[in-house]
Amino acid sequence: MIALLRRDLVLAVRAGGGFGLGLAFFLVLSVLVPFGVGPEADVLARIAPGILWIGALLSCLLSLDRIFALDFEDGSLDLLATAPVPLEGVSVVKALAHWLTTGLPLTLLAPGLGVLLNLPPAGFGWLVISLAVGTPALSLIGAFGAALTVGLKRGGLLLSLLVLPLYVPTLIFGAQVATQGAAGLDVGTPLVLLAGISAGTLALMPFAAAAALRINLR
């Protein structure tokens, strides 16, 4: 499983691996929003946590279909399914690799973009914490969606439609943590709920993804 993680990370950073696509999208979105809504500092400060969370979510979405589709196309997925690694393990590792190449860099990049959006100083810490806690759930749910659509040609649209509703609770509580943190309010409740979503998806989604893969490989 460590070999699989290492391979996926190497593939992601090599040419054509898609690493950086999500980051570039996140950067472009955050740079363009101030132009779109105008330069009033207090308006930007109010919407900054929500915009950054939506940006992170959409950036995650961009690279989801690569989680299983590439391995399906070149036949690796068949070979992995007959390998001694259980498909549940494959799903966890794939989601982890996706998070390490998408969610983690987004989390680290977010404070820098917070400056562009005039995020209040109190909000930076909570923004990073909320993304660090919430983005694993995005990758895990995404791995499930990718497993469901793996056999479909150009399954990206269906994948987005399937996954977006499942992303809504994560977005609500994640953005809530960042917004309340930026306003100097107590963030305990939404943070616990966000962590609960991440823990729940970690417990459930690998099994759901593996079941979907088994059906799609038939």
Partner 1 sequence: MLSVRGVCVARGGVPVLEGVDLDLEAGQALVLRGPNGIGKTTLLRTLAGLQPPVEGQIEMAPDLVAYTGHSDGVKATLTVVENLEFWARVFGQGDIAPALAAFDLEGLVERQAQNLSAGQRRRLGLARLMVTGRPIWMLDEPTVSLDAASVKMFAASVQAHCAAGGAAIMATHIDLGLDGLVLDLSPYRAIGRMSAGGFEEAFE
CB of 75 to partner 1, least distance (A): 3
Specify whether the CB–CB gap between 106 and 170 falls below 8 A. Answer: no
User: Contact 71/77 with Cβ under 8 angstroms?
Assistant: yes
Return the number of the residue (57 or 69) whose C-beta is nearest partner 1. Answer: 69
Which two structure tokens, joined as six digits, stand for 3? 């070999």
What is the per-residue binding string for partner 1 in 149-178, x denoting contact by CB under 8 A? ------------------------------
Question: Is residue 21 a contact residue for partner 1 (CB under 8 A)?
Answer: no
When binding is defined by CB under 8 A, the residue of 162, 202, 211, 217 that contacts partner 1 is 217
As a 3-state breakdown, the chain gives helix, strand, coil percent values, each rounded to 5, of 80, 0, 20
Rounded to whole angstroms, the Cα distance separating 185 from 214 reads 46
Q: Which residues contact 168 (CB under 8 A, 6 or more apart)?
A: none
Between CA 51 and CA 114 the distance in angstroms is: 10
Contact region with partner 1 (CB under 8 A), list: 27-35, 72-80, 168-176, 199-207: 72-80
CA 215 to chain centre: 25
Indicate the residue among 83 and 157 with the shorter CB distance to partner 1.
83
Binding residues among 74-93 for partner 1 as defined by CB under 8 A: 74-76, 78-85
3-state SS, residue 155: coil
Q: Which is nearer to partner 1, 11 or 56 (CB)?
A: 11
User: Which of 28, 73, 122, 154 lies at the binding interface for partner 1 (CB under 8 A)?
Assistant: 73
Tokens of 208: 């759901």
Choose the stretch contacting partner 1; rule: CB under 8 A; options: 25-33, 70-78, 158-166, 191-199.
70-78
* Cβ distance to partner 1 smaller for residue 11 or 33: 11
The CA–CA distances, whole Å, from 41 to 34, 117, 140, 150, 177 equal: 9, 8, 36, 44, 21
| Residue 38 is a binding residue for partner 1 (CB under 8 A) | no
Residue 40, φ and ψ in degrees, nearest 5: -60, 125
Residue 206 CB, nearest approach to partner 1 (Å)? 18
By the criterion CB under 8 A, which residues form the site for partner 1?
2-4, 6-7, 10-11, 14-17, 73-76, 78-85, 217-218
